[in-house]
Structure 1
């Protein structure tokens, strides 16, 4: 068991898993906010674009999407790096779920807050940045935390296109040592530890955002 725990290739694989999670999460969040904002737009064509993205990529399995990027695009002359194919598939898929989280949180902000921003003659971008988002972000964070953990666990599929993540390295170690039970027990614990570290970060951000929201509301009441 200790030989498995101390195996360098598992720790290398864990680092690749963390990197994949961070890159995919960054792409997912970068997509979630503009498409979530599109979902509450006053313009029907903007809402239609947001809905199209959400419905398409929320309805596609990340695994099939990754295979399509990695195996099908080269047939059209476009070859993607394995890491990019994995990040793109996961980011596009989870970005669609995140867009719905953003849209729902923005719609949950009381309408009176939006009306107050209009009364203060704030421009649309200012209304979003200074009024809606500060109140919506604390509502988003718990769900984003869950999605981040789900995204981290979903990175295990990238081993199928030979990215040397934790799962891929575990399969290598199992083949070379024959200690399948010990190897998979160790990586279960490693995935759990990574998930808990991410949840601790999200909870810290939740506390920070709640304190900020308290100040925003206090300033609004003072006015």
Structure 2
């Protein structure tokens, strides 16, 4: 194990890097997709719906292969590095799911909150930043945590586009040493530890967000 762990650690660092950048892109695309789907302009709503349905309704593995093998061909002729393909593929795929989570969370905010903000003559940006989004985040964070863990596990597919992530290293070591049980048990433990660390971090963030809402609302209700 002392010989295998440093090699698996190299792949773990690549997995973490892909997961971090893929998550950041997924968050951006979730907000962009939600904004487009809730837009008052029909063309933007159509574009947002097409994005969500295409990336949510097709296989992540096929999407990665499409970006890696099809885009360099005519008429596209767009060549991306395997690392870029991994981030773009994961970010767009899980961003579509995140857009659906965020849209549902925004719909869950009571309509009276929106009407009260209108009565106070707040701008659309202020309504979203100070009233709607803080309440929606409380509903969105638990499913978003599950989605981030799914993204972390989904990074194992990037080994099929020649990236030396944790799964790729595990397969290499298995072919070289034939210690299949030891290698893949250790790989399983590493994925589990990463997922638990991510879940712990998101639970802490969820408590902070929920605590902020409770502190602002309870004293007013009591008075």
TM tier relative to shorter chain: over 0.9
Aligned length: 221
1:199 aligns with 2:186: no
Give deviations 1:185-210, integer Å, cap 9, x for gaps: 10000000000000000000110010
Distance change in 2, residues 1:220/1:98 (3 Å): farther
SS at match of 2:146: helix
Distance change in 2, residues 1:213/1:173 (3 Å): same
Give how far 1:48 is off.
Answer: 2.3
Alignment partner, residue 51 of structure 1: 49
In 1, Cα distance between equivalents of 2:216 and 2:60? 38
The correspondence of residues 153-168 of structure 1 with structure 2, limited to 5 A, is: 153-168=153-168
Give deviations 1:29-86, integer Å, cap 9, x for gaps: 0010121233333443333222121111111211111111111111132110000011
Alignment partner, residue 105 of structure 2: 105
In 2, Cα distance between equivalents of 1:71 and 1:220? 58
In 2, Cα distance between equivalents of 1:159 and 1:80? 16
In 2, Cα distance between equivalents of 1:194 and 1:217? 35
Alignment partner, residue 149 of structure 1: 149
Distance change in 2, residues 1:159/1:199 (3 Å): same
| 8 Å contact from structure 1 (residues 36, 102) kept in 2 | yes
Give deviations 1:164-220, integer Å, cap 9, x for gaps: 100000111111111011100100000000000000000001100101111343476
Give how far 1:222 is off.
Answer: 8.2
The TM-score, its normalising length taken from structure 2, stands at: 0.94
Distance change in 2, residues 1:42/1:215 (3 Å): farther
Give how far 1:2 is off.
Answer: 4.2
Alignment partner, residue 21 of structure 1: 19
In 2, Cα distance between equivalents of 1:137 and 1:207? 11
In 2, Cα distance between equivalents of 1:220 and 1:137? 21
RMSD over equivalenced CA pairs, Å: 1.7
Q: Which runs of 5+ in 1 are unaligned?
A: none
SS at match of 2:80: coil
Greater shift, 50-59 or 128-137, is seen at 50-59
In 2, Cα distance between equivalents of 1:116 and 1:50? 28
The TM-score, its normalising length taken from structure 1, stands at: 0.94
